[in-house]
Structure 1
Amino acid sequence: MGSIIAESKLTKEAEAIEAAKAQVDIWQYIFGFTPMAVLKCAIELEIADVIESHGGSMTLPDLSSSLNCSQSYLHRIMRYLIHRGIFKQISQDQSSICYIQTALSRLLMKNTANSLAALVLLESSPVMLAPWHRLSARALNNGGSAFEAAHGEDVWEYALKTLDIGIGSVVDVGGGDGTSLRSLVKGCPWIRGINFDLSYVVSVAPKCDGIEYVDGNMFESVPKADAAFLMWVLHDWSDEECIQILKNCREAIPKDTGKVIIAEAVIDEGGDEDKYSDVRLALDMVMLAHTEKGKERTVKEWEYVLNEAGFTSFSVKHIQSIISVIEAYP
C-alpha cells in the first residue's frame, strides 16, 4: 500500500511539473511569429549592413543616428535581437555599450554571397504568410493548395505574374537565373554549363561566359549533358511529376558515365536528428502550405521516385547543411 501511495505522489508531482512547464512553453507558440517579424524589421532597417560598414561595432546613439530612427525603439529592438543571439553587445567603457556582429547577423546583410535576407523577407511577406491561415482548410478538404485558397492561383502562376568533377558539362534543371551554375563554372572553369528553365526565366537571366541558356519544359525533355543538377526543384512536385522529371534527366545523360545530382532536404524519421532537423520539418510544412503536391522526402521516398524513374543506384551524402546531396546513376 505504501508503495502505491508513493507512486501516486510521484505521478502527481510529475504531472505538476509538466503542467508548470506547459504554462511556460505555450507562450513560445503564442508569440512564435515574433522572431521572424523582428528579423524582418532588422533587415528592412539594414542594421547588420550599417554595423558592418562601421567596422563591425557601433554604439546605440551612433546606430540610431545612422539609421535615422528612434533611439528608444531601437534599444528595445536590439535588446530582443541580442537575447535571441542575432547580435552581441560589449562594454566599450563604463558609459557606453557597443553592438557587434555575429555569424547570424551577417546572414541578414543584403547583397552578400551567403545572405538569407531575401528569403526572410519573402517568407515573412503577406503573400507567403496568407496560406498559413488556410492550412486547416486544406486538411479538412483533404487536398488542394493552401496558397491557391488564399490567392486564387497556385504559387507558380502567382510568381509568373509578379516576375516583370570528371564532368565536362552540367545542365542545371530549373536553374532559375543561373546563380548556382555561375558559382560552379567560376570554381570549375572547364565545365560547360547549361542553364535550363522556362523561357520567361532564362530570357532575363544575367549572361555569363561558359554558360548556355536554354529554355524548355523539364516535363518534356532535358538538354544533353554529362550530368544533370537539380537544387530545390523536386520538392515542389508530386511523386509522379518527380518521376517524369527524373526520367527526362536520365535520358539526357550518358548511360555509362552520367549522373543526376540532387540537392534537397532529406527528412530523417529514424530519430537520428541533427541541428537542422527542425528546419527540414519546417520546410515540409512550408511545402504543405505553399504548394499543392510538394513535400520534403525521406530516404525511402527518394528511393521510390528514383527507382520508378529507372535509376539503377543512388547514394545520399549528408553534409553540414539543411540539404543533402543525392547522386543517382542510370
Structure 2
Amino acid sequence: MGRGEGSLKADDIDQLEEATAAVQAWKYALRFTEMAALKCVIELGVADEIESQGGAATLSHLSTALSCSLPSLHRIMRFLVHHRVFKARRAATQEATTYLQTALSRRLLRGGEKSMAALILFEATPTMLAPWHGLSAQVLSKGTAPQPFEAAHGQDLWAYTAQNPEHSRLLDEAMACTARLTAAAIIGGCQDVFEGVRAVVDVGGGNGTFLGMVVKALPQIQGINFDLPHVLSSAPHWDGVEHVGGNMFESIPKADATFLMQVLHDWSDSECIHILKKCREAIAEDGNGGNDHGSDVKLKKSKKVVILEAVLDDDYNGERQFEEEEDSELQSWSGIRLSLDMVMMAHTNGGKERTRSEWAHLLAEAGFSSFSFKPTSVIPSVIEAFP
C-alpha cells in the first residue's frame, strides 16, 4: 500500500473539518428555532391531538381540529419530522400526510409522568430568555455586576417569583416535570436509599410531586413537603404528605432524612453549606433509640441527608468528552449537565452545577462525617451524607 493510501490526507482532513464547522456554525446560529417550534406545537396541542387519534393523524385533521393554518402547520411539522420529533407517512397530497407519535413527541403531551411540556414552555418564556442577553456582561464584570437575571428584571429569581404568581405557577409546573422523572428513577432503581427511613422532609419540594410519588410507592414513609408559604399555597393534596411552610435558611422540620432535589445548584457555596448545616440539625438524634444495638445501627443509617443533583466530571476533557458524545450521544447526560451549569449562571446568583470534589468539599465543610455518590438513569446522582 502506497504512502497515504487507506487514510485521509492532511488536506482532506482540513477540508472535512472546515465543512463540518460551517454546518455546525449555522446550527448554532439557528438553534433557537428548535425551542420555538417545540413551544409552538405544545401551545397548539399537536401531540395531544395525535394521541387522541390513537397515535396518528393527518395534516388535514390536525389543521381542522386545532383551528390553524394548514400550510403553516405543514412547515412546522416538516421541520420537526426532520428533527425526529414526529414521524411522517407520506401521501399523494400534502393534506393527507399522516403524522405519527414517537417516544420524543410524547414528551410534549400536556400530561403524563414523562411529559416535559411545562419545562420547555417555562424556559421559553420571555422572562427566562431575557437574562441570556446579559451573560457576556456578567463574565466581563468579574463578579462586580448583577447576575444576568437580576440585571434583566431588577431582582433575583426568587424575589421575582414571589411577586409574580403566574411565573411562580410556571416554575412549579416545570419543576414538577423533573420531579416526576427523578422520582420514577429513584423508586425504580435506588429504593435502598429509603431503607429504615420512617419520615422524610423534602426541602424545597415545590408542589410536592416528588414526595407524593415516593410515598405512593412506599406508603410506610411519612412525608413532609417543605417550601416557602407562597409556593405551598397552590400545592395539591398528596396522600401521606403534609405541606409545611417555612424558610430553609432558618430551620427545617425534624425527620429521619432530608431530601434536597436540585435545590443546592441554585445557591452559592456558602449558602449551600448553611442549608446543609440546617439539614444536619433536622436529622439530629432524638435520644429515643433505646438499648437495642441493632436498632441503633439502623437508626444511624436512616439519619442522613440525601442530595439529588448533577455531578460533573472532575477530569473533564473537551476532546475526550466530544468523542464520547459522538459515540454514545443518547446514553450520555454529560452535555445536559454542562448546559444546566450555563442555566445556573444565567438565572441564579451564585448557583452552579458541581463536580464530585466540589460536592465533597461542601459536605465536609457542613460537618458530615461520610458520604457516597451513586449515579442514576437520569441527570441527578444520589449523594447520601451522614452526620
Deviation at 1:317, TM superposition (A): 1.1
**Preserved CA contact (<8 Å) 2:216 2:239:** no
Deviation at 1:254, TM superposition (A): 4.2
Q: Distance in 1 between matches of 2:372 and 2:238?
A: 31
Q: Distance in 1 between matches of 2:48 and 2:65?
A: 11
1:249 corresponds in structure 2 to 279
Q: Distance in 1 between matches of 2:245 and 2:165?
A: 17
Q: Distance in 2 between matches of 1:123 and 1:210?
A: 32
* Runs of 5+ unmatched residues, structure 2: 167-193, 286-299, 325-330
Deviation at 1:202, TM superposition (A): 2.3
The one of 323, 326, 329 equivalent to 2:380 is 323
Note the 1:67-146 alignment, pairs <5 A. 67-91=66-90, 96-143=96-143, 144-146=146-148
Call closer, same or farther: CA 1:44–1:204 in 2, change over 3 Å: closer
Note the 1:169-248 alignment, pairs <5 A. 169-248=199-278
Paired residue secondary structure (1:280) = helix
Q: Deviations over 1:52-102 (max 9, x none)?
A: 0111101111111111111111111111111111111235x7664321111
2:154 corresponds in structure 1 to 152
1:261 aligns with 2:306: yes
**Preserved CA contact (<8 Å) 2:59 2:97:** yes
Q: Distance in 1 between matches of 2:219 and 2:132?
A: 43
Deviation at 1:188, TM superposition (A): 1.1
Counterpart of 1:265, as a letter, is A
Deviation at 1:270, TM superposition (A): 2.9
Q: Deviations over 1:88-141 (max 9, x none)?
A: 1235x7664321111111111102222111110110111100000010110111
Paired residue secondary structure (2:63) = helix
1:57 aligns with 2:62: no
Q: Distance in 1 between matches of 2:248 and 2:119?
A: 25
| Aligned sequence identity (%) | 55
What CA RMSD, in Å, does the superposition of the two structures yield over aligned residues? 2.1
**Preserved CA contact (<8 Å) 2:201 2:253:** yes
Paired residue secondary structure (1:170) = strand
1:6 corresponds in structure 2 to none
Deviation at 1:260, TM superposition (A): 1.0
Q: Distance in 2 between matches of 1:32 and 1:204?
A: 35
The one of 305, 327, 336 equivalent to 1:279 is 336
Q: Distance in 2 between matches of 1:63 and 1:200?
A: 39
Counterpart of 2:265, as a letter, is H
Paired residue secondary structure (1:176) = coil
**Preserved CA contact (<8 Å) 2:314 2:356:** no
Deviation at 1:11, TM superposition (A): 4.2
Q: Distance in 1 between matches of 2:13 and 2:100?
A: 42
Structure 1 moving runs of 4+ over 6 Å = none
Paired residue secondary structure (1:103) = coil
Q: TM-score, normalised by structure 1?
A: 0.93
2:173 corresponds in structure 1 to none
Q: Deviations over 1:204-228 (max 9, x none)?
A: 3223332222222111221110110
**Preserved CA contact (<8 Å) 2:264 2:272:** yes
Deviation at 1:300, TM superposition (A): 0.7
Give aligned pairs, total: 324
Q: TM-score, normalised by structure 2?
A: 0.79
Q: Deviations over 1:273-315 (max 9, x none)?
A: 6521111111000000011100011111110101111111111
Counterpart of 1:177, as a letter, is N
* Runs of 5+ unmatched residues, structure 1: 4-8
Q: Deviations over 1:5-56 (max 9, x none)?
A: xxxx954443333222222221011101111110001101110000001111
Q: Distance in 1 between matches of 2:125 and 2:239?
A: 35
Q: Distance in 2 between matches of 1:190 and 1:320?
A: 25
The one of 294, 313, 326 equivalent to 2:370 is 313
